[in-house]
């Protein structure tokens, strides 16, 4: 099942109004409660009497050892949640935590930010830019940005040839020994390791760094994963899908929506592949999964947004839902009749045999498409007897032109590239570019990426402000390390193994369609109380802190990858600096932290390096790097 819930606190802090929706539960509801930090029931929804508009009034009273003040603090700290229990899931089928959100019926146009500083970027400024625009700074790239400036670097990256994940896998398959006996033997098939190797190799050594970084950001919103529909074992499915994100990273978001919709990996992952029309005789309806996620996760979200990303509130002060179950049903009916492409087949069928085509967009089988009249988002009607292509075009156009798409997607891209808590003005400015790139074009991702990276908040920012920056994802921490010290392998490929087990994330390994972490996650406690978001903290646990540290230690002190193709750091240049601990630490500060190291951390590192015998230059270098990449000031990238 799925659902939404809002809680509106009264101004005096003595009560709240709750509203909620749910759908697709496995069976009857057996209980519904608001729980506290210790899982105790703070409010019994079952026993409450709904108001005429369906909302519930919760008057706070002491519960157990919790005072009213305790309950209020738990709500503000993101520690209370609504849980719906069902017969099949007696401990709770769906639940959601309440987090602080802001909203208004309308928002003013923000004041424009100051002009960006002129002149050549400093090394620190170049390093900060590269931490946002690439998978990690290098000495050479810092010098390049200083020499040519931001705009020239961006232009070169926009023009750089695309590094294809599918081409990498094809080459890996081609390099395998010929099957025997040939030619009757089954052709060699790609492995999941090849798909992983493609991602790590392009992230670490690809010349189209910005394109690859944006594609990774998109992959954490437009999620497809090995963990469903057997995609980990589907030949070419994942690299073909990822290439869609890479290819469209600087294209138009409308085209990207169409390309992911018709991609067979996405079709398999979210049940649009071979989604059949309704069959009244059998009592079946089209599958709703992709229809729901297309709107909820890939385009408009659950509630109407203002241009600055804040919630648009109704006259009664509540968020306004973007769509309901009726729109899901209508969209699901649009998305019927699609199946694998069958090149060269005169009469393609709905359920073709093996091998399936994972490379080409899906095709539609007209007899399996639902041709009845439909109602989609915003009540837009689709007349009966339209083709699948006609239905799809109107549906995607309608979603793409919804005013939410700009702030909803742009805020998530800002989160992934720059900061978890963008200012309202930052979101407003970037979403405005999404709406119009200055030439009357909506959805221009190249213009959006430029706007994100060249905004005042990204280039100058407020590093000392509460909520500035974001936690570096574990995979980003590793790519930063490997790129900074020119990691090499005998084959030239980067076969990073078992990363997910240590990091709780790896490209295309998300446990669910909701990514490894959600964009609105707020770590309970001080972060949630302050109304801040901390998405990456959702996978930052006692376990992953230690396992990530150990993984990075292996990369620094030993190597990564299979024994036949070890990935090792090149530390000779750093060893020449080891005789001067302060100089070594300052260089690491510039290379890895864009000059953001505090004087206290700098002194700790210099003292630690100094205690190692000067003759042991390699140990000095390794110790310094290890301490930097595991320091809080590196992990939180500002």
299-322 pLDDT tens trace: 999 999 999 999 999 988 889 999
What's the mean pLDDT when you consider all of the chain? 95
DSSP 429: H
- The CA-based dihedral angle spanning residues 134, 470, 217, 320, taken in that order and rounded to the nearest 10 degrees: -150
Would you state the structure tokens that stand for residue 507, as one six-digit string? 């490209």
Q: What is the C-alpha separation between 296 and 290, in angstroms, rounded?
A: 10
State the pLDDT at residue 235. Answer: 83
State the pLDDT at residue 178. Answer: 84
Strands (E), 46-89: 56-59, 81-86
State the pLDDT at residue 30. Answer: 95
Percentage of residues in the chain with pLDDT exceeding 70? 100
Mean pLDDT of 572-598: 98
Q: What is the C-alpha separation between 603 and 606, in angstroms, rounded?
A: 5
CA angle 165, 230, 396 (to 5 degrees): 70
Q: What is the C-alpha separation between 263 and 552, in angstroms, rounded?
A: 35
Q: What is the C-alpha separation between 619 and 612, in angstroms, rounded?
A: 7
CA angle 15, 17, 21 (to 5 degrees): 150
Q: What is the C-alpha separation between 428 and 463, in angstroms, rounded?
A: 20
Residues β-bridged to residue 97: 81
Q: What is the C-alpha separation between 226 and 438, in angstroms, rounded?
A: 39
Q: What are the angstrom distances between the C-alpha of 61 and each of 16, 43, 99, 422?
A: 12, 9, 21, 36
Q: What is the C-alpha separation between 119 and 123, in angstroms, rounded?
A: 12
Mean pLDDT of 249-268: 98
pLDDT above 80: residue 181: no
Q: What is the C-alpha separation between 288 and 276, in angstroms, rounded?
A: 11
225 neighbors 269 (Cβ within 8 angstroms): yes
pLDDT above 80: residue 184: no
Residues β-bridged to residue 487: none
Q: In 29-174, which ranges are continuous DSSP H helix?
A: 68-76, 123-133, 139-159, 165-174
- pLDDT-derived band at 188 (thresholds 50, 70, 90) equals confident
Long-range contacts, 103-107 (Cβ 8 Å, 24+): 103/306, 103/310, 103/311, 103/312, 103/313, 103/319, 104/306, 104/310, 104/311, 104/312, 104/313, 105/312, 105/313, 105/314, 105/315, 106/306, 106/312, 107/306, 107/307, 107/308, 107/310, 107/424, 107/428
The domain segmentation of the chain, as residue ranges, is: 2-98, 419-459, 571-638
The three-class DSSP label of residue 59 is strand
Q: What is the C-alpha separation between 481 and 488, in angstroms, rounded?
A: 12
318 neighbors 8 (Cβ within 8 angstroms): yes
- pLDDT tens, residue by residue, 557-566: 999 999 999 9
pLDDT above 80: residue 102: no
Tokens 């920056």, residue located: 469
Q: What is the C-alpha separation between 267 and 545, in angstroms, rounded?
A: 35
Assigned fold of 2-98: Immunoglobulin-like (2.60.40)
- pLDDT-derived band at 180 (thresholds 50, 70, 90) equals confident
- State phi, psi for 456 to the nearest 5 degrees: -55, -40
* Of 260, 150, 163, the residue nearest 203 (C-alpha): 163
Mean pLDDT of 143-170: 98
Residues in the chain: 638
- Work out the number of other CB atoms within 10 angstroms of the CB of residue 297: 21
State the pLDDT at residue 171. Answer: 96
Q: What is the C-alpha separation between 538 and 540, in angstroms, rounded?
A: 6
- pLDDT tens, residue by residue, 592-630: 999 999 999 999 999 999 999 999 999 999 999 999 999
Q: What is the C-alpha separation between 134 and 136, in angstroms, rounded?
A: 5
């Amino acid at each position: 099942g799925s659902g939404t819930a809002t809680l509106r606190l009264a101004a005096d802090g003595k009560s709240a109004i709750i509203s909620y929706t749910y759908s697709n539960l496995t069976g009857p509801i057996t209980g519904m409660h608001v729980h506290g930090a210790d899982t105790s029931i703070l409010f019994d929804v079952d026993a409450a009497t709904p108001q005429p508009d369906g909302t519930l009034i919760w008057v706070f009273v002491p519960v157990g050892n919790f005072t009213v003040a305790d309950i209020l603090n738990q709500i503000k700290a993101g520690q209370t949640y609504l849980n719906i229990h069902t017969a099949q899931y007696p401990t709770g089928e769906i639940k959601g935590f309440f987090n602080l959100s802001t909203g208004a019926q309308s928002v003013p146009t923000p004041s424009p930010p100051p002009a960006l500083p002129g002149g050549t970027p400093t090394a620190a400024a170049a390093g900060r830019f590269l931490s946002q625009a690439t998978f990690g700074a290098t000495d050479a790239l810092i010098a390049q940005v200083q020499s040519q400036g931001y705009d020239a670097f961006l232009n070169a990256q926009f023009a750089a040839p695309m590094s294809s994940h599918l081409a990498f896998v094809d080459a890996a398959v081609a390099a395998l020994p010929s099957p025997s006996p040939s030619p009757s033997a089954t052709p060699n098939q790609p492995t999941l390791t090849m798909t992983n190797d493609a991602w790590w190799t392009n992230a670490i050594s690809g010349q189209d760094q910005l394109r690859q970084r944006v594609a990774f950001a998109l992959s954490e919103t437009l999620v497809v994963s090995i963990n469903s529909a057997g995609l980990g074992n589907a030949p070419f499915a994942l690299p073909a899908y990822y290439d869609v994100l890479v290819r469209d990273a600087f294209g138009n978001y409308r085209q990207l929506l169409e390309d992911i919709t018709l991609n067979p990996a996405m079709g398999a992952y979210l049940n649009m592949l071979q989604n059949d029309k309704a069959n009244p005789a059998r009592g079946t309806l089209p599958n709703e999964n992709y229809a729901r996620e297309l709107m909820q996760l890939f385009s408009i979200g659950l509630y109407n947004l203002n241009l600055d990303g804040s919630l648009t509130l109704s006259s009664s002060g509540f968020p306004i839902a973007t769509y309901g179950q009726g729109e899901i049903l209508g969209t699901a009916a649009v998305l019927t009749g699609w199946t694998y492409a069958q090149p060269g087949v005169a009469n393609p069928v709905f359920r073709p045999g093996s091998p399936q085509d994972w490379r080409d967009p899906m095709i539609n089988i007209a007899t399996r498409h639902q041709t009845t009249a439909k109602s989609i988002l915003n009540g837009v009607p689709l007349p009966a007897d339209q083709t699948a292509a006609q239905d799809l075009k109107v549906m995607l156009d309608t979603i793409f032109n919804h005013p939410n798409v700009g702030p909803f997607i742009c805020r998530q891209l800002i989160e992934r590239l720059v900061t978890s808590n963008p200012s309202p003005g930052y979101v407003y400015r970037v979403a405005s570019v999404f709406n119009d790139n200055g030439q009357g074009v909506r959805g221009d991702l190249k213009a959006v990426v430029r706007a994100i990276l060249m905004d005042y908040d990204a280039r100058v920012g407020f590093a000392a402000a509460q909520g500035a920056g974001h936690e570096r994802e574990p995979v980003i921490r590793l790519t930063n390390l490997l790129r900074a010290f020119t990691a090499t392998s005998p084959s030239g490929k980067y076969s990073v193994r078992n990363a997910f087990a240590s990091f709780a994330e790896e490209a295309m390994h998300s446990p669910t369609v909701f990514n490894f972490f959600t964009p609105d996650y707020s770590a309970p406690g001080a972060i949630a109380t302050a109304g801040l978001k901390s998405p990456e903290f959702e996978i930052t646990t006692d376990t992953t802190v230690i396992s990530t540290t150990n993984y990075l230690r292996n990369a620094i002190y030993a190597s990564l990858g299979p024994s036949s193709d070890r990935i090792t750091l090149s530390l000779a240049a750093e060893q020449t600096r080891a005789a001067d601990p302060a100089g070594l630490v300052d260089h690491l500060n510039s290379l890895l932290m864009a000059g953001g190291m505090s004087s206290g951390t700098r002194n700790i590192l210099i003292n630690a390096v100094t205690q190692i015998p000067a003759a042991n230059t390699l140990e000095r270098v390794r110790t310094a790097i290890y301490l930097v990449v595991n320091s809080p000031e590196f992990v939180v990238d500002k």
